[in-house]
């Protein structure tokens, strides 16, 4: 059901009485307006991607009332953010900031600690504060989505001059995605690496600008990320050390032309040799964008039909079945698909494309699929849009694979190498088979590393399937760590486990993170548990999962 | 004189008796060996670049005994670094870590606090721990210089496969330079941005590895900088929060060819229009490297002759004089010189060079100087080496401009724009004229910003000239801040002043830095005052300059 009532009632945060909590909420309402504070007491609605809930994860992995907010608050200004933070410190109420809350696959809008007050920054703080057409930069508030930024470029007639870089789905927040260190698919795909300048409200309420933003009257905040002295920005990504209220982002100049290309490979075992061919081409920028090497099955699932259209047996769909169906698609029968883009004027692209073509053809059975043969609704064109800076939503379609389709991501990092790709693929396949899931991996090739993204699609209403999905994930995290691979990002429910794999010298990195957390957030009010970092007040008290 | 005796005697750090200090030193000697601890009690030697002192700045700006070490210690291992740090905590003795100590123009090897014990990491910890020819990365210890890294690539026959990126002088430390966020001149010129992974001894002695280094057995430490959770690396650059014992660095793949080019421009007033032409070309990577736009006078001074060879009047050398002399050089008469490099195979370079040529020629009087006309000892070839990854020392020559030549750098950041270049140039010119110095600026064009580097060359034995140099610097820092420009890096003596210009919201950034400092270094032993950050024990007690 799309809407359900809260069986456990209003999720009061641990350590505060209902009375004290409700009175604190009243206080907050009178400070910033009734309409900007909403209790989450009756029922919650799952909605869908574009109308997602901000109280919980619409694709729950655990009990749906575990990671859930007691209330949602909508600040309208930096001063209100500061006010709310001070309020939380006074009442020792955990706050969970989100920009948009479309972090699907990683926990959606849900807070890590049940009963946190979610600070939905995006609702009212959603202005594009600046687009600088000379420096190719912009300055945005948390509520600015990729769609909104792109539309503004179009509105100003700048879309031919400069591009944004977007993830596979365009409804996310430019700030939220970068803070979780998300990736996109143009040469500007490393979103964190491409930002310049933050404005942050610290957990004690002080307002800081980093980089050149700390120099009053500077015109370089979005041009030069470092400023003078320690470069602090990084501690505000994948953490719970501050609330980001503004971020600068660089924009990519139109490269003077672009051209998507697609190759298919016939055998599962082509993966290794392909990766070894890709590595030097990628590091030397002959392959220029964060390309995806996708499994054939994902090319099928992204058509948006339920799995049952193709097969209704138990366990993973057999290879023979999906390959038979692939034959009827524009992609054709294959094991792997490479989606890439060449940039620049025609003769420059031709130079690179010729090298790529001859290198890829070292693999027997490699085929270049002519874009002209691909219908307009083929997924290829979605990749084409994204790799050239136009937001899209096609990628959502593979969620239809299951009824009540939900998904969760496993995203380990490895070098770009055949040996590593094979090790991860073999391991993931074994664990998926054990738990009866279809394995649909995509390798997102960065510059010297790749993120393997495995999305398990499950039926969110099926408790057993949810548990199998969690088991599969947890086993893969442990297996990967034993092989030397770590996740670049993870789901709320798995953050403790993933953080614990970064364990050198008896967890020295987490001890450092804890030291920073205690110094910056002495009352432990900001997003407790996010990325495995627990404030002193919670640490070692059984909160870890 | 090259060697002088210490008039003020052994520089005992403030707050400890001579007896207690000497006994602490004895304790340290017995822990790590007599030969690895040297008291600085009798005389100090200035030496020259290749045999520089590690006790003080060979190019002092203030009294030569102000920024000076009481002793130098040479750890031979990470465990010894930890031991020394614990020792310093126990005795409350300030420690100042250097990798090589060739930070000339920014304080050389000198500590900020008189009597600090300098930890010279480079002497014994100087191994290249790894060069990965598949991923184009390396892992180095503090003592690895650009020369050493380059030689090792040559030794392994890899110099045709991958390049290092070096600053103008090759004798610096790969780690030390990156930690101070130095720049080089290939497309990999942003050294901090190009590193991947740190190993750090914290001020309390714990050993941390950042990024993927925190995952035991990982093979991605040098491939993927971020890891999981907060990306902490940045707080260890331009700070005093830790001692870096290992750093990963990425290496540039040979681009398949390269070609240096040089243009001259006739009028001082060409600067503005030139910068506006450069900006879009640079941001779109038609101009691919961190190029230098140099003033004609610097092209003359880098020949290495004393200023008196050309002119012996008082005050700045008149334009007519140096332009007359420039006529006799391969550069020819000019106001500005652009040194750049195009990368890739010939037809790819031709594409970019043609665009550059037509754009640059929009400025009347612009000349492309044919490399074939330039003698082998022309400075152009030094830039050619550096922009293609070969370390060099030519740049040292302009220090000969003055007897007992010393220099200090003013390095403000601005957008790449004519307006900004002109504002900075006009301001610097006025301040140089006031204090009677020759102005020899170079604009180092990054991607969306440029660092203006103005080096004041002065006679280190001439107290009046030293004071004028300091005055000129301090005035420029204030003037720049009033115009909205801040320094990306600065000299030890000016760190407090520069840090104070990053003053948004009543110094919120410095308050944050102080919070971090107090949490990480409660006893305040590590490099007190570096980058304007003072530990609690020193803060507000008159240490600022
Ligand atoms: C089909 C599909 C495809 C996807 N493809 C991609 C992809 O290609 N690349 C990719 O990166 N992701 C991808 N995702 C994951 C996700 O959708 C995006 O990363 C999305 O941008 C994240 O949600 P958001 O932008 O709304 O961020 P939010 O949910 O607003 O933020 C994410 C988290 O960051 C923190 N945070 C957010 N804002 C702030 C703030 N202002 N201050 C402090 N902390 C804050 C919070 O902890 C929050 O939970 C995909 C998801 C799906 C379902
Ligand atoms: C003629 C001339 C030209 C120059 N050109 C350039 C140029 O093109 N680009 C450029 O960037 N610089 C340039 N410089 C400045 C300087 O020479 C270089 O930056 C040089 O690399 C810095 O010295 P170093 O590498 O020996 O570093 P160090 O002196 O070893 O380190 C610099 C500082 O970093 C800190 N530090 C060093 N190691 C550690 C560690 N392991 N842990 C913690 N803190 C540490 C210390 O505070 C130290 O003072 C130039 C200087 C001159 C004289």
DSSP assignment of B199-248 equals: EEE-TTS-EEE-GGGGSTT-S-TTT-S--SS---GGGGSSSSS-EEEEEE
pLDDT in tens, B221-247: 999 999 999 999 999 999 999 999 999
Domain B502-545 has CATH 1.10.45.10: yes
Instruction: Out of 2.40.50.1020, 3.30.70.60, 3.30.43.10, 3.30.1490.20, select the CATH number for domain A3-120.
Output: 3.30.43.10
The reply to whether residue B508 touches residue A481, judged by beta carbons under 8 angstroms, is no
3-state secondary structure of A260: strand
Q: Are residues B289 and A141 in contact, defined by beta-carbon separation less than 8 angstroms?
A: no
Contacts of A417 in chain B (CB under 8 A): 134
- Break chain A down into helix, strand, coil percent, rounded to 5: 35, 20, 45
Tokens for A500, please give them: 């614990």
- At residue A157, φ and ψ (nearest 5 deg) are 70, 25
Q: Which residue among B207, B283, B502 places its CB closest to the CB of A228?
A: B502
Scanning the structure block, which residue is given the tokens 């950041």? Answer: B413
Interface test with A, best of B288, B448, B478 (most A CBs within 10 A): B448
Nearest-Cα distance to chain B for A9, in Å, is 33
For A245-284, how does the pLDDT look when each residue is reduced to its tens digit (9 = 90+)? 999 999 999 999 999 999 999 999 999 999 999 999 999 9
Token pair of A480 as six digits? 């990967």
CA distance B409 to B492: 11
Read off the pLDDT of each residue in A234-251 and give the average, rounded to a whole number: 98
Strand partners, B452: B443
Contact A480, A423 (CB under 8 A): no
What percentage of chain B has pLDDT greater than the value 90? 94
What pLDDT score was predicted for residue A273? 98
Taking CB atoms and an 8 Å limit, are A214 and B498 in contact across chains? no
Q: Which of helix, strand or coil describes residue B339?
A: strand
Question: DSSP 3-state assignment of B305?
Answer: coil
Give residue A456's pLDDT.
96
As a whole number of Å, the end-to-end CA separation of chain A is 27
Q: Read off φ and ψ for residue A35, nearest 5 degrees.
A: -70, -10
Take residue A319 and report the two structure tokens written for it: 């290879």
Q: What is the mean pLDDT of residues A306-311?
A: 95
The residue behind tokens 């998507």 is A260
**Beta B117-120 vs B95-98: how paired, if at all?**
parallel
Q: Residues B371, B260: contact at Cβ < 8 Å?
A: yes
Residue pLDDT, tens place only, B28-50: 999 999 999 999 998 888 888 88
Q: Measured between alpha carbons, how far is B295 from B337 in angstroms, rounded to an integer? A: 6
Nearest CA in chain A to B485: A218
Name chain A contacts of B520, Cβ cutoff 8 Å: 515
Q: How far apart are CA A156 and CA A146, in angstroms?
A: 15
Residue A238 and residue B229: Cβ atoms within 8 Å? Answer: yes
**Contact between A493 and A409 (Cβ < 8 Å):** no
Domain A258-491, what fold? Vanillyl-alcohol Oxidase; Chain A, domain 3 (3.40.462)
Quickly state the pLDDT bin for B1 (edges 50, 70, 90).
Answer: low
A243 in ligand 1 pocket by Cβ < 6 Å?
Answer: yes
Do B358 and B278 form a contact (C-beta atoms < 8 A)?
no
Other C-beta atoms within 10 Å of A212: how many?
A: 29
**Cβ-based neighbours of A217, under 8 Å, separated by 6 or more:** B482, B483, B484
Q: Nearest-CA residue of chain A relative to B211?
A: A502
Query: Do strands A116-120 and A69-73 pair parallel, antiparallel, or not at all (unpaired)?
Result: parallel
The CA-to-CA distance between both ends of chain B, in Å, stands at 27
Secondary structure (DSSP) of B92-111: T--EEEESS---TTTTTT--
- Decide if pLDDT at B386 tops 80: yes
Cα distance between residue A205 and residue A527, in whole Å: 14
CA–centroid distance, residue B489 to ligand 2 (Å): 10
For residue A20, which phi and psi values (nearest 5 degrees)? -60, -40
Rounded average pLDDT over B7-31:
96
Known catalytic membership, residue A488: yes
Which residue ranges make up each domain of chain B? 3-120, 128-253, 258-491, 502-545
Over residues B40-67, mean pLDDT: 89
Do residues A246 and A139 lie in contact, with contact meaning Cβ atoms separated by under 8 Å?
yes
Do the Cβ atoms of B162 and B254 come closer than 8 Å?
Answer: yes
Which of B203, B168, B122, B108 lies closest to B492, judged by CA? B108
Task: Give A47 or A172, the one with higher predicted confidence.
Answer: A172
Q: Do A234 and B233 touch (CB under 8 A)?
A: yes
| 3-state secondary structure (DSSP) of residue B136 | coil
Query: Domain A128-253, what fold?
Result: 3.30.465
Rounded to two decimals, the ipTM of the complex is 0.97
Q: How far is CA B24 from the centre of its chain?
A: 33
Give pLDDT tens digits for A288-307: 999 899 999 999 999 999 99
Contact A486 B511 (CB under 8 A): no
Question: CA–CA separation, B358 vs A430, rounded Å?
Answer: 59
Place of tokens 């020392």: B393
> In a 3-state reduction of DSSP, which class is residue A363?
coil
What H or E segment, with its residue span, contains residue A61?
none
Average pLDDT score, chain A: 96
Determine the distance in angstroms separating the CA of B510 from the nearest CA of chain A, rounded to an integer.
Answer: 9
Catalytic residue status for A74: no
DSSP string, A249-262: EE-EEP-S-EEEEE
Sorting pLDDT into bands at 50, 70 and 90, what band is A3? confident
Who among B229, B502, B512 is closest to A502 (CB)?
B229
Nearest one of A498, A356, A319, A336 to A421, comparing CA atoms: A336
Q: Which among A232, A510, A518 is the nearest to B235, CB-wise?
A: A232
Q: How far apart are CA B236 and CA B202, in angstroms?
A: 10
CA B509 to each of CA A27, A78, B243, B514: distance values in angstroms, whole numbers, following the listed order: 31, 17, 22, 9
pLDDT at B49: 87
Task: Give A-chain residues touching B233 at CB under 8 angstroms.
Answer: 234
pLDDT-derived band of residue A1, with 50, 70 and 90 as boundaries?
A: low
pLDDT band at A139, cuts 50/70/90? very high
CA B74 and chain centroid, separation = 23
Nearest to A296 by CA among A327, A255, A274: A327
Give the mutation target among A56, A58, A96, A99 for probing the ligand 1 site: most ligand atoms within 8 A of CB: A99
For the stretch A404-453, pLDDT in tens is 999 999 999 999 999 999 999 999 999 999 999 999 999 999 999 999 99
C-alpha to C-alpha distances, B129 to A151, B137, B221, nearest whole angstrom = 49, 11, 13
CB–CB contact A448 B487 (8 Å): no
Nearest CA to ligand 2 atom 45: B98
Q: Which residues contact B381 (CB under 8 A, 6 or more apart)?
A: B374
CB A447 within 8 A of CB B187: no
Distance B187 CA to ligand 2 centre (A): 20
Instruction: Give me the pLDDT at residue A268, please.
Output: 95
Mean pLDDT, residues B445-470 taken together: 95
Q: Is A81 in the pocket of ligand 1 (CB under 6 A)?
A: no
Contact yes or no for B91/B47 (Cβ under 8 A) = no
**How many Cβ contacts (< 8 angstroms) between chains A and B?**
297
The pLDDT value given to residue B440: 95
* Residues A448, B137: C-beta atoms closer than 8 Å: yes
pLDDT at residue B63 in the model: 86
Set of chain A residues whose Cβ sits within 8 Å of the Cβ of B236: 230
Closest approach atom of ligand 1 to CA A200: 42
Averaged pLDDT for residues A500-505? 98
């Amino acid at each position: 059901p799309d809407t359900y009532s809260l069986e456990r009632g209003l999720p009061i945060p641990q350590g505060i009485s209902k009375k004290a909590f409700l009175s604190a909420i009243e206080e907050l309402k009178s400070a910033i307006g009734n309409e900007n504070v909403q209790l989450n007491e009756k029922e919650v609605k799952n909605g869908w991607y574009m109308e997602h809930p901000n109280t919980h994860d619409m694709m729950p992995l655990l009990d749906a009332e575990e990671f859930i907010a007691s209330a949602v608050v909508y600040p309208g200004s930096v001063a209100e953010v500061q006010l709310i933070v001070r309020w939380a410190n006074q009442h020792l109420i955990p706050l969970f900031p989100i920009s948009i809350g479309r972090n699907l696959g990683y926990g959606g809008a849900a807070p890590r600690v049940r009963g946190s007050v979610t600070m939905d920054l995006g609702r009212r703080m959603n202005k594009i504060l600046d687009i600088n057409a000379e420096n190719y930069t912009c300055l945005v508030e948390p509520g600015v989505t990729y769609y909104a930024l792109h539309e503004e470029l179009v509105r100003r007639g700048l879309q031919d001059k400069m591009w944004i870089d977007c993830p596979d789905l365009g409804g996310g927040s430019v700030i939220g995605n970068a803070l979780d260190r998300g990736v996109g698919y143009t040469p500007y795909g490393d979103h964190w690496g491409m930002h310049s300048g933050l404005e942050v409200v610290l957990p004690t309420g002080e307002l800081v600008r980093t980089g050149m933003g700390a120099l009053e009257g500077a015109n370089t905040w979005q041009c030069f990320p470092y400023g003078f002295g320690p470069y602090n920005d990084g501690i505000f990504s994948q953490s719970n050390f501050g609330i980001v209220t503004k971020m600068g982002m660089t924009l990519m100049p139109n490269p003077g032309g672009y051209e998507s290309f697609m190759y298919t490979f016939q055998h599962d075992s082509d993966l290794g040799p392909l990766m070894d061919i890709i590595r030097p081409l990628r590091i030397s920028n002959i392959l220029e964008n964060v390309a995806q090497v996708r499994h054939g099955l994902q090319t099928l699932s992204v058509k948006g039909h339920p799995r049952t259209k193709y097969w209704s047996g138990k366990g993973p769909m057999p290879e023979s079945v999906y390959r038979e169906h692939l034959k009827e698609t524009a992609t054709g029968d294959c094991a792997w698909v490479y989606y890439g883009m060449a940039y620049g004027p025609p003769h420059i692209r031709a130079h690179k494309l010729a090298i790529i073509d001859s290198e890829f053809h070292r693999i027997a059975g490699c085929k270049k699929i002519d874009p002209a043969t691909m219908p307009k609704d083929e997924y290829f064109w979605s990749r084409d849009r994204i790799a050239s800076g136009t937001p899209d939503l096609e990628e959502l379609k593979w969620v239809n694979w299951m009824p009540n389709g939900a998904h969760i991501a496993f995203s380990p990092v490895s070098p770009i190498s055949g040996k590593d790709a094979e090790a991860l693929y073999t391991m993931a396949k074994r664990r998926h088979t054990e738990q009866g899931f279809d394995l649909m991996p995509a390798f997102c090739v960065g510059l010297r590393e790749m993120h393997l993204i495995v999305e398990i699609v499950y039926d969110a209403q099926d408790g057993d399937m949810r548990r199998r999905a969690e088991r599969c994930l947890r086993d893969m995290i442990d297996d990967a760590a034993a092989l030397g691979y770590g996740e670049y990002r993870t789901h709320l429910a798995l953050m403790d486990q993933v953080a614990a794999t970064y364990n050198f010298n008896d967890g020295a990195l987490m001890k450092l993170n804890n030291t920073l957390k205690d110094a910056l957030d002495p009352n432990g009010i900001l997003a407790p548990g996010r990325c495995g970092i627990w404030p002193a007040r919670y640490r070692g008290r059984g909160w870890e999962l």
